[in-house]
A and B are shown apart, each in its own frame.
Chain A
Amino acid sequence: MAVVDEKHAQFARYKDDVQTRGKPFFPHAMFHDTVMSVVVVCVIIGLACIWYFTSDADAGEDGSGWLGPRYADKADPGTTSFIPRPDWYFYFLFYLLRIFKWPESVILATVGIPTIALVLLIALPFLDRRRERRPLRRPVAITGAILVMLAMGVLTYKGATVRESLGGGLTDTWVEQNNLPENARAGADVFQEAGCMTCHSYLGAGAGGPGPELSEIGAQSGKNVDYFVRYISNPREFGNNIMPVYASFGEKTLNDLAVFLAASKGPGGG
C-alpha cells in the first residue's frame, strides 16, 4: 500500500538524516539531560528542606509550615470531624465527583469518565493516524489537548479551593472580613460546626449549593433575629423543603445563629 510505503520511507529518511547529520548523544544531548536532572534533584531537595524547616513537630494543622505540616493526625477510623481530601494530583477527579451530585450519575464520575479518558489516551496513536506532526496542521489534536489541559486545570483548581469548614476556625476571619460584632461569634461557631456549610457558603467558604451564600443575608429587609429563629426552626413554614428542620437545636443555639445571620450584612454594611 502506498500509505504504508510512505510511512516506511519517511522513517527510513529519518534514520538516514540522523545518521548523516545527527549529533552524538554523548556529550551533546546528555549534557542537557544531566543539567535538567541536577535541577530536578535540587528542586526536590529544596522542597524537602522548605517543608521541614518551616514546620514544627506538631501534627496536623498546628504544625503547618509553608508547605504543609510534617504529618497529619494519626488515622482515626471513627472520626466525625475530619474532611477527607486526596493528594493534589487527584483533585480533578475529586471535583468531578462533586459535580456529579445526582445519585444516578455517580457511576459516571467514578468509573465512566475516567475510564473513557484513559481508553482514549491509550488509543490515541490508533485514532490519529495522520503522519503530520507540526502542531499548526493538527487542529483537532491541538484543540483537544488545550481543552483537556484547561479542563484538568480548572477541575484541579476547584478541587483545591473547595472549602468545607466543619470544624470551626473561620470565625476570626469572618468577624474581621464581614464586620461582625462580638456577640455573633457564638453563632459563627455553630454555623460551622452544625454543618450549615454543607449546603451554604459564607464569604466564599463552604458549598455552592443548594443553599444560598449567606454573608449578606442580614442586609435583606425584614431579616432580623426573630425571622432567622423562626426560619431555622422550621424552614417548611417558608416553603423550603430541602433544608433540615433545626428545631431540636434548642433556644440558645438558635438564638446565637440568628444573631450571627442578622449581623451578616456583608463587608460594606454592619
Chain B
Amino acid sequence: MAQQRPPSLVRQIINYPLDWLEERSGLVGAVRYFLFRKVPRDTNWSHTLGSATLTAFLIQAITGAILAMYYKPETRTAYESIERITNDVTLGWLVRGMHKWGASVFIILMFLHMGRVFLFGAYKYPRELNWVIGVLLLVLGLFEGLTGYLLPYDETGYWATVVAININGTAPFLGPFLVNLLYGSADFGTDTLARFYSLHMLLAPGAIFALIGLHLYLVIRLGVTSPPWSPEAAGNERYEPEPPSRDGRDGRRAGLLRPGARRAAR
C-alpha cells in the first residue's frame, strides 16, 4: 500500500519496534488479527459478559498473587496472617476485599454468561467444544471458591471444607479414598490446608488459564453468534433472494427462516 507521503515521525517511531517484533515472532500480526477481526454487526451488550468474566478472573489472579505474598499457609499462622493483611498491611484490606468479593462476582458473571450463551443457542454446531470447555471452567471456578474458602482457616471455612470433603466421601467405591486424598491424611490434619492452598493457587488456576486460552481461541476461530431474534443475524438465509419454490417448501429443515415463506405469509 503506497502512501502519498512518507509516514510521520511519530508513526515511524511506533512502527519500527512493531515491525522488529513482527519480523521475529509474528505476534504483532496475531494481535492485529484479534483486534481487527470482524464480528457480527448486531452484537450487543450481552456479549460483554464473557470478557467481564475474564476481567473478574484476572482480578482474582492478580489479587490472589499479591495476597500470597503475605499469607502464611500453615494452620498455626494462617488466621493471624489474614488478620494482619486486613488490619496492618497497607491497603491489605482492599486487596483482600477485592479477592473475596471478586470471587462472588466471578461466579455470578460465569452463570450470567452461561445463561446468555444458552439463550442464544451458541452451544450448537460448531461451538459444542466451546460449551464443554465452558462447563469445565464453571466447575473449576466453583472449585476455586471451595478451596479458597478454607484458606483463612476460620470457622466458616473449616467446617464448610469438612462437609464438602465428606460429601465427596459418599461417592460409591472411591469415595473413602477421595476423602483421604483431599484431607492429605485420614482426617483434617496439618497437610490439609497446604493441600488446598496448592490446589487453589497452582493446579486449578493453571488449568483455568489453559482452558481460558482454549476457550478464547475457539471464540476467535468460530466467531460469536448474533442474537438469534435479530433480523440481521449473521448466518440467516434471508440475503439470498431465492425464487420461492412451487409448494413453499424447499426441502430444508423446519424452523429456519425461509424468505419465500415469509414473503408468502405477508
Q: Touch between A and B in complex, CB under 8 Å? A: yes
Q: Looking across the interface, which residue of chain B has its beta carbon closest to that of A108?
A: B170
Q: Report whether A51 and B100 are in contact in the complex, using a CB–CB cutoff of 8 Å.
A: yes
Q: Whole-angstrom distance from the CB of A2 to the nearest CB of chain B?
A: 8
Q: How far is the CA of A52 from the CA of B153 in the complex (A)?
A: 19
Contact B160 A41 (CB under 8 A): no
Interface centre among A45, A86, A122 (most CB of B within 10 A): A86
Number of interface residues of B (CB under 8 A): 92
Contact of A41 with B55 in the complex, beta carbons under 8 Å: yes
The B98-144 residues at the A interface (CB cut-off 8 A) are 98, 100-105, 107, 109, 115, 118-128, 131-132, 135-136, 139, 142
Cα–Cα distance between A111 and B172 once the two chains are bound (Å): 9
The answer, yes or no, to whether A125 is at the interface (CB within 8 Å) is yes
C-alpha spacing A235/B59, complex, angstroms: 57
- Interfacial chain A residues near B89, Cβ < 8 Å: none
State whether the Cβ of A89 lies closer than 8 Å to any Cβ in chain B. yes
Closest to B170 in A: A110
Beyond A17-B239, A44-B105, whether A84 also contacts B94 by CB under 8 A is: no
Chain B, residues 179-200, CB within 8 Å of chain A (1/0): the string is: 0000000001000000000000
Please determine whether A36 and B48 come into contact, CB atoms closer than 8 angstroms. Answer: yes
Do the beta carbons of A37 and B51 come within 8 Å of each other? yes
A128 to B239, CA, bound (A): 27
- In the complex, the answer to whether B131 meets A40 with C-beta atoms within 8 Å is no
Please determine whether A18 and B234 come into contact, CB atoms closer than 8 angstroms.
yes
Instruction: Give, as a whole number of angstroms, the nearest-CB distance from A68 to chain B.
Output: 9
Q: Is A13 a contact partner of B56 (Cβ separation < 8 A)?
A: no
Cα-based distance from A17 to B42 in the complex (angstroms): 11
Q: A57 CB to closest chain B CB, in angstroms?
A: 6
Contact B97 A131 (CB under 8 A): no
Which residue on chain B has the smallest CB distance to residue A11?
B126
- DSSP class of B's interface residues: helix, strand, loop or mixed? helix
What B residues does A19 contact at CB under 8 A? 38
Q: Which of B14-22, B64-72, B203-211, B248-256 lies on the face that meets chain A? A: B248-256
Q: Is the CB of B160 within 8 A of A128?
A: no
Q: Does B40 make an interface contact (CB < 8 A)?
A: yes
> Does B259 sit within 8 A of A, measured CB to CB?
no
A residues in contact with B44, CB < 8 Å: 32
In the bound complex, how far is the Cα of B225 from the Cα of A258, in angstroms?
Answer: 67
CB distance from A50 to the nearest CB of B (A): 9
Say whether A86 contacts B149, CB under 8 Å: yes
Q: Quick check: A33 and B51 within 8 Å, CB to CB?
A: yes
Q: Report how far A14 CA is from B162 CA in the complex, Å.
A: 50
Asked if A44 and B101 sit within 8 Å, CB to CB, the answer is yes
Most buried by A among B52, B96, B136, B255: B52
In the complex, which residues of chain A have a beta carbon less than 8 angstroms from the beta carbon of B105? 40, 43-44, 47
Which residue of A45, A84, A131 is within 8 Å of B124 (Cβ)? A131
Q: Which residues of B contact A141 (CB under 8 A)?
A: 118, 121
Q: Does B171 contact A (CB under 8 A)?
A: yes
Most buried by B among A13, A21, A125, A128: A125
* A32-B45 contact, Cβ under 8 Å, with A10-B235, A44-B59: yes
Not counting A21-B234, A36-B51, A121-B135, a sample of 15 additional A-B residue pairs whose C-beta atoms are within 8 angstroms of each other reads A13-B237, A17-B234, A23-B38, A32-B47, A32-B48, A36-B49, A43-B105, A48-B96, A52-B86, A70-B93, A75-B157, A88-B104, A107-B170, A130-B255, A132-B255
Pairs across A and B, CB under 8 Å, 22 listed: A13-B234, A17-B235, A21-B40, A21-B41, A28-B39, A40-B52, A40-B59, A40-B109, A47-B101, A71-B79, A71-B83, A73-B155, A74-B153, A77-B188, A79-B155, A84-B156, A87-B103, A89-B142, A90-B145, A107-B170, A134-B121, A145-B118
